[in-house]
Structures are given as structure tokens and as C-alpha cells.
Amino acid sequence: MKTTGISSVDHAPQVVAEWLNALCEDLGWQEKGRAWLLLREVLHAVRDYLGADEAADLAAQLPVLIRGMYFEGWVPSRTPAHPRHKADFIARVQAAFAKEPLEDPDRAVSAVLALLRSKVSHGEFREVAHAMQKPLRDLFV
């Protein structure tokens, strides 16, 4: 594999693989593509439920390739999304799995949030969780 000589770029695919491996291990999945879809949908939902400033603060702590995916399709003027209830959040994530629905969407979302909690600072994760409405905040615990 060719390298750029820029460590953050050259190392980026390995970091994504580490995130996906951790997510697959936590959920007992084998399919990395499904894990990527879950990661993307949960991060997009989190991003859209936050105000623009908090969404950008969270992005600053994400690895370069995951940060790019996180910002994909973002329209800051449409944030935070309404309504912002737990059921809406879960339904939004589940909609991406229409052909093969998640067996336990709450567990799947919680797995991504647990991964995120392990990868960003405690203070940033706490700020993101507190920006959510109470029933949705329970997924962040």
C-alpha cells in the first residue's frame, strides 16, 4: 500500500478498522459493512440532534476518516433536529436497516455510544449526552 508520508492519513484506515472491530466484537457481528452502516447512522443522528457548535466540538475528537463520514451530508441550519425523542432517534437508525432490521436497535445504538465514550474525552461525551433530551440521554449511560 502506498503511503503519503502524513501519519494521520496513512494511519486512518487502521483506526477505522479498530473502531469497526471493537463494534463487531461488542455486538457479536461478523459483517464490517453492517458495523460501518450502524456507526454512520448513529453518528449522523447524534450530530443532527446537537446544535452546530456542539456537533463541531464532537467532530474535533473523531479520527480523520470517521470525521469525514460524520460530516457527510450535514446541513447545520437544520440542527438540532425536531422532534428529538428516543423513539425518533432509534427509528432513524433502524430505517437504514430496512432490508435486514436490527434485532435489538437499542442495544446496537448503545454499542456505538459506548464505543464513542471510549474514544472521546469524558468531558466531551458528557456534554453530548447532556445536550440530548432525558429519555434519549439514557442510551448514553
CA 77 → CA 26, 53, 119, 130, distances in Å?
Answer: 34, 11, 27, 21
- Has this prediction a pTM greater than 0.95? no
- Calpha distance 73→28 (Å, rounded): 29
Q: What is the mean pLDDT of the chain?
A: 93
- Calpha distance 31→20 (Å, rounded): 9
**Position with higher pLDDT, 60 vs 134:** 60
* Residues 39-89: tens digit of each pLDDT: 999 999 999 999 999 999 999 999 999 999 999 999 999 999 888 899 999
For position 4, what pLDDT does the model report?
66
Other beta carbons within 10 angstroms of residue 82's beta carbon come to 9
Answer whether residue 120 shows pLDDT above 90.
yes
Percent of the chain with pLDDT over 90: 79
Torsions phi, psi for 38 (to 5 deg) = -60, -50
Sorted by where each starts, the structural domains of the chain and their CATH numbers stand as: 10-140 (1.10.490.110)
